[in-house]
Amino acid sequence: MKLFKLIILFAFVPFAGFAKLNVVATTTDFGSIAQEIGGEKIDLTTLSKPTEDPHFVDAKPSFIVKLNHADALIEGGAELEVGWLPPLIEGSRNAKLESGKPGRVSCAEGIALLEVPTTLDRSKGDIHAAGNPHFMTDPLNGKIVAAHIAKSFCQLDPKSCDYFNANLKKFNDRFDAKMAEWQKLLAPDQGKDVVSYHNSWPYFAKRFDLKMDIFLEPKPGIPPSPSHLAEVITKMKSGQIKVIIVQPYQNRKTAEAVASHAEAVVLDFPSFPGSMKDTKGYIDWMDFLVKSLAKGFQARK
Amino acid sequence: MRKFEAVNLEKFMKILKIIGWSSALCLSAMTLQAQETNEVGQFKKQLQQMQENFDKVTRAQQQQIEALTKKLDELTRTQLPPIAVAPVKTEEQKKLEAELATELAKDSTTNAASKSATQSSPLSAPWSASQPLTIARAGSAYMNISFDALMDAGWSTESDPSAQLQLGDHDPQKRGFSLRNAEIALDGAVDPYFKGFANIVLKLDNNNETDIELEETYLQSTSLPANLQLKAGQFFSAFGRNNPQHPHQWAFVDAPIISTRAFGPDGLRNIGTQLSWLAPTPFFTELSLGIFDGQGGTAHSFRNVGEDDGTGVNRFAGRATIDRNLRGPQDLLFTPRLASSFEVTDTQTLVGGLSGAFGPNDTGLHSRTEIYGADVYWKWKPANATEGFPFVSWQTEGIYRRFGAGSGADLMEPVQSENLRDWGAFSQVLWGFKPRWVTGIRGDYASGNSGQFDSSDAFRGERYRISPVLTFFPSEFSKVSLQYNHDHGEKFGTEHSVWIQLEFLLGAHGAHKF
């Protein structure tokens, strides 16, 4: 009998001791932070690709399997994944991921969202009732999310809590040093205008005190028209606006056409970590954005 | 005796002790009370002070705010950007526009994903399940409400397309205008254990009278153990891929021919329950079993008495039908299904399924029907797609039905019983060639053995149909489709139809399943 108990003990102890948390993140910004906090104690799966539009991810059945095995789901919330995540969670049959459980991390919680509409009117285009969900472009929000994730991991795996908190501290230290550097880098450009394809960067603009309210799109979700682009060019010329930012792989040609008329530079501005070289981690990605923007301003001085 | 005294003494001591303790307690309570009254006074004073301080600060801040707003107003008035004033187009601007137009044209041909940024703004959440009506704001309502209407206009070389060509209940069925599907969809969490769904469909019949049907109303479990999930109520059977979809999810304006033959105009939906199980395989595998009542027109090939032949006799497949009640569980309708999915590559997904439907039918006392189906769906979408475009998808379904037609209820004129065998398939390819645009083509084929009453049955006989379609989505909430049907049937020869379908959606947009 004793032997039997010992065998049982040894059969389960290794799993209990080394079992990693199965973590699923919807997008790579949440995923990369989760990896930094979780380190070797988690197995991470990210559902959407870094180059993909987070609103238009296909609800593939293979994702149901991943969510079925998950101990934690890290989502943006605020309607970011509303078009595809609900049927996946329904299909996953995983009680750990029910909202309110420690395994369900909704990153938008505790973040002051911008652009919360006062009226819901789709004639103004497609709107987010809860506010703009692309809050990770403000690095300080990344820090909030990191703390949020560490808290969840601690609840799910209390034994490794010290490890997670140590990783959080490492992340925060690195972050704080970088943040100071970024603010210094962009300080001379405060208040400057930047043209973007789409209203994707209000959080980034607010954090670094930039103006990003000229868009190549005439209305959100409506493709650029020649008359609108001509207007943008006029604005850029009269306002001495010299920088256009675009998503890599996409709509670069339209931006270049506008840039050539306004003597501006076009910068690749990936919206997620991992979509370009050297942007794998969240901090690396932010570093890339800030540095290329600072360089862009420099080039057209 | 001494012993007794000793005991008494002990008791006495105990009583004394108790008295002592309790009086001590009383005293302390009293002092506490006194302290409390003292503290109350202090707190009151503090509170008053704080209130005064607060009022002072607010007043000061209000003054500051007013001063600042005034300043801001003045500044914005003086600093209006010159370009915001009425844009009068100069010759130069016009030239620039023309130039840009050609560049844009070039751009859209070379770069399919030219529309918008990957990461979008507040104004571009596409499939927004909880983007609700103004009366039901996200997160603050108990359910999502939406209204989705499909309106059709078209022409056919056949003067009455509803007779032989357009056999689906939500198909455009007549020349000119029709409205065959306006659905109110409700969904939300019932409690921590169930989610609830309802679809109420309104439609105009071919005399433009309003019909109403409770298309679906069911609840679904959220927290059963062992990877199980239970669904109960009235709902579409999970047979194949096309059947459980609502008409507005279809890429074509009408139902596939073989679907209408096996499942009738409405598709296979009935009241019942379904248990499904997610298998613990590394790839997606789901097994499900539906158990339905199996009665009525929405269980077309099963306990369905059919249509009145004009003499007060209900007929189906030519036979006078028997309105059978349940004699036991064997008279229920059973629909098992197995579905699996694989990631072929990072950008390609494949889903395959096998389905069955087994139950009695009303043409004889012991007559039964079996339906088998196989379906496959493949989709390609590149890693850097914009708003879900471009993509290519391919869907094919094959269905076989054995309808054991009995000898009918008319004992004076018994009909020979026979097996009616029907088979058919449809295959469709869709290509989202640029944002908001989808084109596609569908091929339909259906055939079967010959039966005694085929001449009066629009659902039998060999037939094929080719349907190209072009769809434009002005936004996620509206759609215009143009479809042509080249239709050839053993019974009616060759007919041509052209349909335009317009869809609009108000309120919550349900999330899309794969």
pLDDT for A126-176, tens place per residue?
Answer: 667 788 899 999 999 999 999 999 999 999 999 999 999 999 999 999 999
The answer to whether residue B189 neighbours chain A at the CB level (below 8 Å) is no
Is position B100 within any domain? Answer: no
Q: Look up residue A139 and give its amino acid.
A: P
CB B197 within 8 A of CB B187: yes
Torsion angles phi and psi, residue B502, rounded to 5: -120, 130
Six-digit token pair at A217?
């799109």
Instruction: Give the angle subtended at the CA of A156 by the CAs of A155 and A159, to the nearest 5°.
Output: 80
The answer to whether residue A191 neighbours chain B at the CB level (below 8 Å) is no
Kindly report, residue by residue over A163-204, the tens digit of the pLDDT: 999 999 999 999 999 999 999 999 998 999 999 988 889 999
Six-digit token pair at B23?
């009086």
The answer to whether residue A95 neighbours chain B at the CB level (below 8 Å) is yes
Cis ω before B390 (30° cut-off from 0): yes
Q: How does DSSP classify residue A146?
A: H
Is position B37 within any domain? Answer: no
Q: Distance from B483 to chain A by nearest Cα, in Å?
A: 25
Residue B220's pLDDT band, with cuts at 50, 70 and 90, is very high
The CATH number of whichever domain residue B179 belongs to comes to 2.40.160.10
Q: How many CB atoms lie within 10 A of CB B193?
A: 12
CB contacts of B120 in chain A (<8 Å) are 53, 55, 134, 198, 200, 220-221
Q: If you measure CA to CA, which chain B residue comes closest to A54?
A: B119
Asked if B115's CB is within 8 angstroms of A226's CB, the reply is no
**Alpha-carbon A34 to chain mean position:** 12
CB A79 within 8 A of CB A48: no
Domain holding B372, by residue range, is 144-507
Is position B480 within any domain? Answer: yes
**Alpha-carbon B345 to chain mean position:** 27
From the list A33, A115, A272, A203, the residue with the least C-alpha distance to B119 is A272
Kindly report, residue by residue over B230-244, the tens digit of the pLDDT: 999 999 999 999 999
Q: In this predicted structure, what is the pLDDT of residue A118?
A: 78
Q: In this predicted structure, what is the pLDDT of residue B113?
A: 37
| Region of poorest pLDDT, from A167-181, B55-69, B403-417 | B55-69
CB contacts of B387 in chain A (<8 Å) are 53, 55-56, 221
CB contacts of A95 in chain B (<8 Å) are 222-223
d(C-alpha A299, C-alpha A243), whole Å: 10
From the list A301, A288, A295, A296, the residue with the least C-alpha distance to A139 is A288
Q: In this predicted structure, what is the pLDDT of residue B39?
A: 63
Asked if A133's CB is within 8 angstroms of B379's CB, the reply is no
The answer to whether residue B477 neighbours chain A at the CB level (below 8 Å) is yes
Asked if B117's CB is within 8 angstroms of A247's CB, the reply is yes
Mean pLDDT of chain B: 83
Asked if B282's CB is within 8 angstroms of A65's CB, the reply is yes
CB A245 within 8 A of CB A256: no
Tell me: pLDDT of B53 over 90. Answer: no
Q: Distance from A68 to chain B by nearest Cα, in Å?
A: 8
Asked if A119's CB is within 8 angstroms of B278's CB, the reply is no
> What is the arithmetic mean of pLDDT over B181-209?
92
Tell me: pLDDT of B339 over 60. Answer: yes
Is position B409 within any domain? Answer: yes
The answer to whether residue A83 neighbours chain B at the CB level (below 8 Å) is yes
Is position B442 within any domain? Answer: yes
Is position B435 within any domain? Answer: yes
Q: What is the percent of chain B with per-residue pLDDT over 70, rounded to a whole number?
A: 76
Q: How many CB atoms lie within 10 A of CB B453?
A: 16
Q: Sketch out chain A's domains with CATH numbers.
A: 2-111+124-180 (3.40.50.1980), 190-269 (3.40.50.1980)
Interface test with A, best of B90, B96, B118 (most A CBs within 10 A): B118
Q: What total number of domains does chain B contain? A: 1
d(C-alpha A130, C-alpha B48), whole Å: 39
CA distances from B307 to B163, B248, B321 (A): 14, 28, 9
The answer to whether residue B220 neighbours chain A at the CB level (below 8 Å) is yes
CB B407 within 8 A of CB B432: no
Is position B136 within any domain? Answer: no
Q: What number is the ipTM of this complex?
A: 0.85
Q: Distance from B106 to chain A by nearest Cα, in Å?
A: 9
Residue B82's pLDDT band, with cuts at 50, 70 and 90, is very low
Q: How many CB atoms lie within 10 A of CB B398?
A: 17
CB contacts of A82 in chain B (<8 Å) are 125, 127-131, 511
Range 253-272 of A in CB contact (< 8 A) with B: 253-254, 257-258, 261, 271-272
Q: In this predicted structure, what is the pLDDT of residue A247?
A: 82
Tell me: pLDDT of B411 over 90. Answer: no
Kind and range of the H or E run holding B486: strand B478-489
Close Cβ partners of B479 (under 8 Å, ≥ 6 residues apart): B471, B472, B473, B501, B502, B503
Tell me: pLDDT of A248 over 80. Answer: no
CB contacts of A272 in chain B (<8 Å) are 118-119
CB contacts of B227 in chain A (<8 Å) are 68, 93
CB contacts of A58 in chain B (<8 Å) are 349, 379, 381, 388, 514
The answer to whether residue B105 neighbours chain A at the CB level (below 8 Å) is no
Report H helices in A19-78: 28-38, 61-68
Kindly report, residue by residue over B26-50, the tens digit of the pLDDT: 444 444 454 555 666 676 677 777 7
Asked if A58's CB is within 8 angstroms of B349's CB, the reply is yes
Q: Look up residue B154 and give its amino acid.
A: G
* 3-state secondary structure (DSSP) of residue A282: helix
Residue B289's pLDDT band, with cuts at 50, 70 and 90, is very high
From the list B424, B313, B427, the residue with the least C-alpha distance to B363 is B313
Q: In this predicted structure, what is the pLDDT of residue B262?
A: 96
> What is the arithmetic mean of pLDDT over B180-199?
92
